[in-house]
Amino acid sequence: MSESRRGSSRVQEPPLGAERARRIPHRWKERVLPVAIVRRLRDRRVRMPLYAAAGLLLAGAAWIAVTGVLARDELLAAQRSLETLRRQDLAQPAADPATAAGPPVTRTATAQDAVRSAAGHAARAHRLTTGPAWFPAAHLPVLGGPFRTVRGIAEASDRLTHDVLTPLVRTFAELESTGTDDGRHLNLSALRRVAPLLEQASRSGSRVRADVDALPHGTWLPATDRARTQLARQLDRIAPLTHDAAAAARLMPSMLGADGPRRYLAVFENTAEARGTGGLPGAFAVLRADRGRLSFEHFGNDTELSEAYADVDLGAEFDGLYGPSAPTRTWVNSNMSPHFPYAARIWAAAWQRHSGQRVDGAFGLDPGAVSGLLAASGPARLPDGSAVTARNVVDLSERASYALHPDFRQRKSYFLDVARAVAIRLLGASTDPARRTAFFSALHRQLGEGRIKVWSGHSAEQRELLARSFGGALPEGSAPLAGLVVNNAAGTKLDYYLDRRLVWAPGRCVDGQREVTVTVRLTNRAPVSGLPPYVVQRVDAPPYDTRPGDNRLLVSYYASAEATLSGATLDGRPAQLSHGAERGRPVFTLDVELPAGATRTLVLHLLEPPGDRSPLVLRQPLVHPLRARVLPNGPCAG
How far apart, in Å, are the Cα atoms of 387 and each of 99, 233, 376, 608? Answer: 19, 39, 15, 51
pLDDT at 172: 78
* Band of pLDDT at residue 103, cut at 50, 70 and 90: very low
DSSP class of residue 509 equals E
Q: In whole angstroms, what is the distance from residue 476 CA to residue 461 CA?
A: 19
Q: Which burial class, exposed, middle or buried, applies to 622 when counting CB atoms under 10 A from its CB (0-12, 13-18, 19+)?
A: buried
Tens digits of residue pLDDT in 419-466: 999 999 999 998 887 788 788 889 989 998 889 999 999 999 999 999
- Number of CB atoms found within 10 A of residue 613's CB: 11
Least-confidence region, from 6-15, 451-460, 517-526, 576-585: 6-15
Is 575:552 a contact under the CB 8 Å cutoff? no
Q: In whole angstroms, what is the distance from residue 470 CA to residue 457 CA?
A: 15
Contacts of 104 (CB under 8 A, 6+ apart): 176, 433, 434, 435, 436, 437, 438
Q: Which of 301, 306, 354, 304 is nearest to 330 (CA)?
A: 306
DSSP string, 135-186: HHHHTSTTTTHHHHHHHHHHHHHHHIIIIIIHHHHHHHHHHHHS--SSSSS-
For residue 458, report the phi and psi dihedrals to the nearest 5 degrees.
-100, 120
Which pTM was predicted? Answer: 0.84
Within the chain, how many helices (H) and strands (E) appear?
Answer: 18, 18
Q: Which of 91, 234, 218, 209 is nearest to 152 (CA)?
A: 209
pLDDT at 81: 87
* Band of pLDDT at residue 196, cut at 50, 70 and 90: very high
Residue type, 309: Y
Least-confidence region, from 142-151, 184-193, 385-394, 472-481: 184-193
Average pLDDT, the chain: 87
> Would the pLDDT of 85 be above 80?
no
> Would the pLDDT of 19 be above 70?
no
pLDDT at 419: 93
Quick check: helix, strand or coil at residue 361?
strand
Q: In whole angstroms, what is the distance from residue 463 CA to residue 461 CA?
A: 5
How far apart, in Å, are the Cα atoms of 325 and each of 49, 285, 319, 330, 489? Answer: 87, 25, 9, 8, 10
Mean pLDDT of 161-181: 80
pLDDT at 87: 65
Q: What is the 3-state secondary structure (H, E, C) of 520-543?
A: EEEEECCCCCCCCHHHHCCCCCCC
> Would the pLDDT of 112 be above 60?
yes
**The dihedral of CA 65, 71, 76, 77: what is its sign?**
positive
Q: At what angle do helices 145-159 and 104-128 cross, to 10 degrees?
A: 150
Mean pLDDT of 566-581: 97
Mean pLDDT of 567-586: 97
Tens digits of residue pLDDT in 235-255: 998 898 899 889 989 999 999
pLDDT at 58: 80
Is 620:335 a contact under the CB 8 Å cutoff? no
pLDDT at 178: 64
For residue 422, report the phi and psi dihedrals to the nearest 5 degrees.
-65, -45
Q: In whole angstroms, what is the distance from residue 545 CA to residue 161 CA?
A: 64
Tens digits of residue pLDDT in 282-338: 999 999 999 999 999 999 999 999 989 999 999 999 999 999 999 999 999 999 999
Is 401:417 a contact under the CB 8 Å cutoff? no
pLDDT at 438: 84
Q: In whole angstroms, what is the distance from residue 480 CA to residue 563 CA?
A: 9
pLDDT at 120: 95
**Percentage of the residues of the chain whose pLDDT score is greater than 90:** 65
> Would the pLDDT of 567 be above 50?
yes
* Band of pLDDT at residue 183, cut at 50, 70 and 90: low
CA angle centred on 512, ends 507 and 516, rounded to 5°: 25
Tens digits of residue pLDDT in 491-537: 999 999 999 999 999 999 988 899 999 999 999 999 988 899 999 99
- Number of CB atoms found within 10 A of residue 493's CB: 26
Is 543:593 a contact under the CB 8 Å cutoff? no
> Would the pLDDT of 89 be above 60?
no
* Band of pLDDT at residue 46, cut at 50, 70 and 90: low
> Would the pLDDT of 45 be above 80?
no
Residue type, 333: N
pLDDT at 7: 45
CA angle centred on 481, ends 476 and 485, rounded to 5°: 95
* Band of pLDDT at residue 585, cut at 50, 70 and 90: very high
Quick check: helix, strand or coil at residue 414?
helix
Cα-to-chain-centroid distance, residue 176 = 26
Q: Which of 373, 377, 370, 372 is nearest to 435 (CA)?
A: 377
Q: In whole angstroms, what is the distance from residue 115 CA to residue 160 CA?
A: 10
Q: What is the 3-state secondary structure (H, E, C) of 207-241?
A: HHHHHHHCCCCCCCCHHHHHHHHHHHHHHHHHHHH
Look at 67 and 13; give whichever has higher pLDDT. Answer: 67
pLDDT at 98: 39
Look at 425 and 407; give whichever has higher pLDDT. Answer: 425
- Number of CB atoms found within 10 A of residue 410's CB: 12
pLDDT at 405: 87
Q: In whole angstroms, what is the distance from residue 156 CA to residue 511 CA?
A: 44
pLDDT at 536: 94
* Band of pLDDT at residue 180, cut at 50, 70 and 90: low
Is 199:163 a contact under the CB 8 Å cutoff? no
